[in-house]
Structure 1
Amino acid sequence: MQTASTNICERMGRSQELSEFISGTVIGCHLCNKSIRDISWLLNIPRSTVSGIITKWKPLGTTATQPPSDRGQYMLKCTVRRSHQLKT
């Protein structure tokens, strides 16, 4: 039986990130061939969170937060360029 103090989801709001220790523990369990379901049960975190950590780790090799992409700036430049071409 789990208490509220051991459930990480109740202590952590949606906007907060997991600690590097927990992310590393998830990756360590994954490398030891534990299933997502087993990892979720062992660490008492949602399966979707475990899956997200593993999915993020596979291509990047890290669980650290990455800087935002410049897609917004790129799209703004394209929109301005298109509107300028339409006026001329």
Structure 2
Amino acid sequence: MQTASTNICERMGCFQKLSAFKRRAVISCHLCNKSICEISLLLNIPLSTVSGIITKWKQLGTTATDRPHKMTERGQCMLKHTVLRSRQLSAEPIA
């Protein structure tokens, strides 16, 4: 028997990181023309999560959870210094 707190946790979306397998399963179901609602019920994942996974896959071509790092302050200073020092260079050698 579940207590009220675990039931709320399941319904209200306490953060759980989905496995790569479940993310691939969402995309596989999507490619088989299943609706977001059907995928959600089939895999027991919230609709918003399914929608987010599909949207990310369409935009970025990946379902990975790690995000690219932002440029650090030091990196920005070094880039600015390089650009100011050699203004004749094109973007390719600077990068």
The reply to whether residue 48 of structure 1 matches residue 55 of structure 2 is no
| Higher relative contact order (CA closer than 8 Å, sequence separation 6+) | 1
Instruction: State the Cα distance separating 1:69 from its structure 2 match.
Output: 4.3
The reply to whether residue 27 of structure 1 matches residue 27 of structure 2 is yes
Distance 1:62 1:68 in 2: 12
Percent identity between the aligned chains?
A: 62
Deviations 1:31-64 (A, max 9, x none): 0000000000101111001000000110111101
> Which runs of no fewer than 5 residues in structure 1 stay unpaired?
78-88
Find the counterpart in structure 2 of residue 63 from structure 1.
63
The reply to whether residue 36 of structure 1 matches residue 36 of structure 2 is yes
Give the aligned residue type for 2:60: L
User: Alignment length, in residue pairs?
Assistant: 70
> How high is the TM-score relative to the length of structure 1?
0.62
| RMSD (Å) for aligned C-alpha atoms | 3.0
> How high is the TM-score relative to the length of structure 2?
0.58
Which of these two proteins has the greater Rg computed from alpha carbons? 2
> Which runs of no fewer than 5 residues in structure 2 stay unpaired?
3-8, 77-95
